[in-house]
Amino acid sequence: MHFIDSVRRWVGSLAELGISIIALGVVLQVLFGDGQGAVPFLPMDILGSVVGFVDALGSQGLVGLVALGILWWAYNKRA
């Protein structure tokens, strides 16, 4: 059981790190520009990806809301 708890903490830490990197990328992209390669160490369009993800969830109607609810529940469960 100790191993499973250790893995859960490790995965939770990685998820939190990923969310922090995405948030940093969005802020830097808003500050420094919208183009591809505007932020040197983030060569992708993070803001466009986030907007596309939200748009995809929104266009799916009830299924998108259920998926968003599951993601929200999973994120808040470990907090």
Degrees (nearest 5) of the Cα angle 48, 18, 49? 10
Tens-place pLDDT, residues 61-71: 888 788 878 87
User: What pTM does this model have?
Assistant: 0.64
Mean pLDDT within 23-45: 76
Integer Cα distance of 43 and 24 in angstroms: 13
Average pLDDT, the chain: 80
Q: Where are the domains of the chain?
A: 2-78
Residues 6+ away with beta carbon under 8 Å from 29: 38, 39, 42, 45, 46, 47
Mean pLDDT within 30-41: 71
Q: How many CB atoms lie within 10 A of CB 41?
A: 6
